[in-house]
Structure 1
Amino acid sequence: MAVLVTGGAGYIGSHMVLALIDAGEPAVVLDNLSTGFRWAVHPNATFIEGDVSDSELVARIIAEHDITAVVHFAARIVVPESVSDPLGYYYANTVKTRALLEAVVKAGVPHMIFSSTAAVYGMVGNDPVAEDALLSPISPYGRSKLMSEWMLEDTSVAFPLRHVALRYFNVAGADPAGRTGQSTAGATHLIKVACETALGKRAGMQVYGTDYPTPDGTCLRDYIHVSDLTAAHLDALNYLRQGGESAVFNCGYGQGYSVLEVIETVKKVSEVDFKVTISPRRPGDPAAIVAKADKIRATVGWQPKLDDLTTIVRTALDWERDLDRKRN
């Protein structure tokens, strides 16, 4: 018996593998290494290079490793890029998920955890958004993920596959033990970019828009530590194993921080006053998106342990300092 982690060589996926191994769960990673890194995969996990759309490969993995659950991370995730390459995003995030689902159903795998996103909500205002809010994504990225949620919902009605879709808010930070972190070159995540700038890996950074209807004019986001997020996946998996019904949960802390607040925190923790340039808004960015995250706590018993912006930034900075050595 083992858990298949698609995209397990990537940022969140590699943390999921750590969480599984730490919990004594056998893990099998399927990743095409288009954005992930082989070295980021825990040595005790089984690694297979390949694509989730390769149905024959997925079927073979499920049979050979007695897969009883799939945690699906493999996707493209950059909102502005999805605006310029919508067909690429619908293919990577929706078409390939459909192929994976077909293989999972044919093999009779009972449980699946899906990596979704708060981008399915779209423009929601400044109040925390709950799972039953109107779904109106404004980017191809958000739409591609919502389509996958719909496929999962319909599939779980037609077949004995129970699932949990976790809608992530802004994931940041790194494994507190320094084993993995955000390693993608040219990443667009705010905390990653700010940490790179603080350490001199970038000459400066940009703030995209200061005219939003928020307290300081910059976008508000709910930042969740990646290790708390992977703990939520484990809790969701245990919920399904105990007979829980298919469900959708927000993954966030319920606290919003503005872009400028995050930058000031990075400056404070790093003790570096780096250059910041104000630029126009980017397409597809809502003014604010903060989680109402009561449901996941009440239903699966998730209890975050790293709910602190300074802690998130500190672990991200520690990882960024060590990243060049890890890559080599």
Structure 2
Amino acid sequence: MTWLVTGGAGYIGSHVVDALRGAGIGPVVIDSLSSGHREFVPAGVPFVLGSILDEELVERTLTQHAVAGVIHLAGFKYAGVSVQEPLLTYEQNVTGTAALLGAMERAGVDKLVFSSSAATYGTPGGDIVTEATPTNPESPYGESKLIGEWLIRDQGRARGLQHTSLRYFNVVGSGSPELYDTSPHNLFPIVLRALTSGQTPRIYGTDYNTPDGTCVRDYVHVADLATSHVAAAQSLAAGRALEPIYNLGSGDGLSVRQIMTAMAKVTGIDFEPEIGPRRAGDPDRIVADGALAARDLDWVMRHSVEDMVASAYAAQRHAAGV
């Protein structure tokens, strides 16, 4: 059995590729390398350089490799930047998803696992997000992911596409030192780059209604995330019915202060974070409930905060040749 991974040369996608191989499923990768890395794709895994906007290329790839299903991760993933680049965001995430669905229909591929986002919720009223929490995206990125879910849902109704969409917040850590987060916007690489360059990381606000006064967010290890993407693919391949939406969440979250403490402990770099003012719009606590995914998709938080930091730090050092 072969599955196509769109965006399979990226940080999350490369971990999904590894998890597929570990489960005995043959992956094929298509990636434009706009943010992915060719070296993240293992030797022996078929790699197609190109965009999901190229419907002919995608259809040809699906057919030539006898693909049974698709795990769709390709897209523009920077929520903050999407506010300045809405057209690019919609082209990559909405038009790209529509093009992929068209290519799948023509190739007769009827199974899809979609990497969505908890950005579809916006800033929810409660502090625990469930699949029943109303969606209210606050950025073009979040909106584009929600529209992608609608496209997939409607294709399921019209053409019998078997599908599920996975929503999650902050993905961290590394399942292998060779695979690392290269985002300029994510907390872990920002803090680690600051520490290893002699700078002091900053906490924005310490007077939130949380146990230590700093914001609490959901952080999930990338390898755990990849395992559940593969579990979803296996369930669809076996004909098991899945929920249309799953949250991959920790259920309790971690505070920014807890992250900083773990960073100092694991790296051995003693520091006291700078304290800055609150950022507008930052809620006290946002954490997703992962109970449904635990029931259906082998979703387990297998890594402690120290594990998350240690794996991210090892990967950063490997990338720097240390």
> Is 2:248 the partner of 1:255?
no
Q: Secondary structure at the match of 2:231?
A: helix
Q: Secondary structure at the match of 1:84?
A: coil
> Is 2:206 the partner of 1:207?
no
Query: CA contact under 8 A between 1:199 and 1:321: conserved in structure 2?
Result: no
Could you tell me how far 1:206 is from its partner in structure 2? 3.3
Query: Structure 1: where are the runs of 5+ without partners?
Result: none
Partner of residue 83, structure 1: 83
Q: Which residue type is aligned with residue 233 of structure 2? A: L
Query: Structure 2: where are the runs of 5+ without partners?
Result: none
Hey, what's the Cα distance between the residues in 2 that align with 1:44 and 1:221?
Answer: 38
In structure 2, do the counterparts of structure 1 residues 155 and 284 end up closer, same or farther at CA, with 3 Å as the change threshold? farther
Partner of residue 262, structure 2: 265
Partner of residue 100, structure 1: 100
Q: Secondary structure at the match of 1:290?
A: strand
Query: CA contact under 8 A between 2:116 and 2:168: conserved in structure 1?
Result: yes
Alignment of 1:205-244 (within 5 A): 205-210=201-206, 212-244=208-240
Q: Which residue type is aligned with residue 220 of structure 2? A: I
Could you tell me how far 1:220 is from its partner in structure 2? 1.5
How big is the alpha-carbon RMSD for the aligned residues of Structure 1 and Structure 2?
2.0
Partner of residue 24, structure 1: 24
Partner of residue 164, structure 1: 164
Alignment of 1:16-95 (within 5 A): 16-95=16-95
Identity in percent = 40
Partner of residue 198, structure 1: 195
In structure 2, do the counterparts of structure 1 residues 70 and 183 end up closer, same or farther at CA, with 3 Å as the change threshold? same
Could you tell me how far 1:277 is from its partner in structure 2? 3.6
TM-score under structure 2 normalisation?
0.93
Could you tell me how far 1:282 is from its partner in structure 2? 5.0
Could you tell me how far 1:287 is from its partner in structure 2? 3.9
Q: In the TM superposition, what whole-angstrom CA distance separates every residue of 1:119-157 from its partner, at most 9, and x where no partner exists?
A: 111112453211011111112211110110111111111
Hey, what's the Cα distance between the residues in 1 that align with 2:279 and 2:66?
Answer: 45
In structure 2, do the counterparts of structure 1 residues 316 and 3 end up closer, same or farther at CA, with 3 Å as the change threshold? same
Could you tell me how far 1:256 is from its partner in structure 2? 1.2
Which aligned runs of 4 or more in structure 1 are off by greater than 6 angstroms? none
Q: In the TM superposition, what whole-angstrom CA distance separates every residue of 1:60-111 from its partner, at most 9, and x where no partner exists?
A: 1011000111111111222211122222212221111111111112211121
Hey, what's the Cα distance between the residues in 1 that align with 2:274 and 2:12?
Answer: 29
> Is 2:113 the partner of 1:113?
yes
Hey, what's the Cα distance between the residues in 2 that align with 1:279 and 1:150?
Answer: 39
Query: CA contact under 8 A between 1:21 and 1:27: conserved in structure 2?
Result: yes
In structure 2, do the counterparts of structure 1 residues 21 and 284 end up closer, same or farther at CA, with 3 Å as the change threshold? farther
Q: Which residue type is aligned with residue 270 of structure 1? A: T
In structure 2, do the counterparts of structure 1 residues 213 and 87 end up closer, same or farther at CA, with 3 Å as the change threshold? farther
Q: Secondary structure at the match of 1:163?
A: strand
Could you tell me how far 1:310 is from its partner in structure 2? 1.0
Hey, what's the Cα distance between the residues in 1 that align with 2:196 and 2:98?
Answer: 41
Could you tell me how far 1:306 is from its partner in structure 2? 2.2
> Is 2:128 the partner of 1:128?
yes
Partner of residue 152, structure 1: 152
In structure 2, do the counterparts of structure 1 residues 191 and 52 end up closer, same or farther at CA, with 3 Å as the change threshold? same
TM-score under structure 1 normalisation?
0.91
Q: Which residue type is aligned with residue 132 of structure 1? A: A
In structure 2, do the counterparts of structure 1 residues 141 and 214 end up closer, same or farther at CA, with 3 Å as the change threshold? farther
Query: CA contact under 8 A between 1:220 and 1:289: conserved in structure 2?
Result: yes
Q: In the TM superposition, what whole-angstrom CA distance separates every residue of 1:145-188 from its partner, at most 9, and x where no partner exists?
A: 0110111111111112111100012110001x42312134xx21
